[in-house]
Amino acid sequence: MDTYKYKAMDQQGRRVTGTLDAANLTDLEMRLGRMGLDLIDSHEVRRISLLHRFRRTPRSELINFSFHLEQLLNAGVPMVDALSDLGSTIDDPAFRDVVAELVEAIEGGKNFSGALADFEHVFGKVYISMVRVGEESGTLPRVLQDLGEMLRWQDEIVAYVRRVMVYPLIVLAVVGGAVGFLMVYLVPKLTSFLQSVGSELPMHTRALIAVSDFFVAWWYVLLLLAFVVPAAIRYMSRNSPRFRFAWDGFKLRVWLFGDLMYKIRLARFSNYFALMYGAGITVLDALRLSRALMDNAVLEEAVDRVHRHIGEGQTLGEAFARTGLFPPFVVRMMRVGETTGALDEALRNVSYFYAREVREAVERLEPAIQPVLTVFLGGLVGWIMFSVLGPIYDTIATLDY
């Protein structure tokens, strides 16, 4: 939906100026006509609102939107009426405005996929492309059902990953704050006491004092680095393709979590690819649209090579095998799917396999992380306490009563 600044004339011949949202110039003229105004001149002043552009729509809203729209269309409700009914039940205000603008765009002459294209940042290229295929093939309700299932699957995968990541991050943040307090405030006070006694300090206590002195002298630098380093990584990833390629390659190799992230991306890629291929999107177009779903420069480059090899006449299985980045299981299922003519089913099997691998990996990691963190953090706190209290106890034990 665009916003136009207009000049118009009312029924008494007076000039009127203002701004009005409309899908296009024809829609603007119709809206002004309903207001009793004749359009003289207009120009576009902005596209969609800042609220829509920068606020992320919850995935749950997209899931409910796809499910309820599919149900209404299957029941024979016209698209405009279905969207109008949905708009009144949406909780998220920004997404409710988006649906309202979809209705106005369709009333202005656009089809559903064309209206969705104005909100690519909300729905994504894959969603819009699938809807366009559904409109052209007359299977829009089925496509919406598949999209809803895909979004639910993606939401489930995200929930599994959060289960692994949230607990360690919270524990590390709390204990990191506690250790920082000990190093900056408590240890220096005890250090002055130990040094006033005059006895020789053990090596582990001297090491603790050195670490504490470093924290006291450079605490603001350490605190700043906690914000600067992630920001610098994001900036370099966006502006340096070479850095992003190296950083994304490192993320795939990092211990414990790299393999998990790799399997999640393979599962997501296979699921979307199967969905698009089953809906009638060509292999090359499905690869092009699925590329961004990898969210990893190394894997995106591999998909580009697959796209190029297929364009040169190679089979899908051969193209994936030549990249060297896709496991033999994926390549084998690609070849089986091509041979049997059921490529979408083979890809769904790949997605199911890796989604199960992710769930099992999370189930193994979740109980293992807690004792590992307990031992590590207990050892860290124990070192601090032993380094401080040990010399104090030795000093007290040598006093002559």
CA distance 82 to 71: 9
pLDDT at 198 over 70: no
Q: What pLDDT does 49 receive?
A: 47
Q: What pLDDT does 195 receive?
A: 66
pLDDT at 55 over 60: no
Q: For a pLDDT cut of 70, what percent of the chain falls above it? A: 90
Q: What is the pLDDT of residues 324-348, one digit of tens each?
A: 778 888 888 888 887 887 787 888 8
Q: What pLDDT does 251 receive?
A: 86
Residue 294 binned pLDDT confidence (cut-offs 50, 70, 90): confident
pLDDT at 46 over 60: no
Q: What pLDDT does 47 receive?
A: 47
HEC readout, the chain: CEEEEEEEECCCCCEEEEEEEECCHHHHHHHHHHCCCEEEEEEEEECCCHHHHHCCCCHHHHHHHHHHHHHHHHCCCCHHHHHHHHHCCCCCHHHHHHHHHHHHHHHCCCCHHHHHHCCHHHHCHHHHHHHHHHHHHCCHHHHHHHHHHHHHHHHHHHHHHHHHHHHHHHHHHHHHHHHHHHHHHHHHHHHHHHHHHCCCCCHHHHHHHHHHHHHHHHHHHHHHHHHHHHHHHHHHHHHCHHHHHHHHHHHHHCCCCHHHHHHHHHHHHHHHHHHHHHHCCCHHHHHHHHHHHHCCHHHHHHHHHHHHHHHCCCCHHHHHHHHCCCCHHHHHHHHHHHHHCCHHHHHHHHHHHHHHHHHHHHHHHHHHHHHHHHHHHHHHHHHHHHHHHHHHHHHHHCCCC
Q: What is the pLDDT of residues 25-45, one digit of tens each?
A: 777 788 788 778 888 887 765
pLDDT at 321 over 80: yes
Q: How far apart are the first and last CA of the chain?
A: 88
Which two structure tokens, joined as six digits, stand for 164? 């692994």
CA distance 262 to 106: 40
Q: What is the pLDDT of residues 354-392, one digit of tens each?
A: 778 777 777 777 677 777 777 877 787 788 777 777 777
Average pLDDT, the chain: 79
Q: What is the pLDDT of residues 57-112, one digit of tens each?
A: 778 888 888 888 888 888 888 888 888 888 777 877 888 888 888 888 887 778 88
pLDDT at 396 over 60: yes
Q: What pLDDT does 92 receive?
A: 79
pLDDT at 48 over 70: no
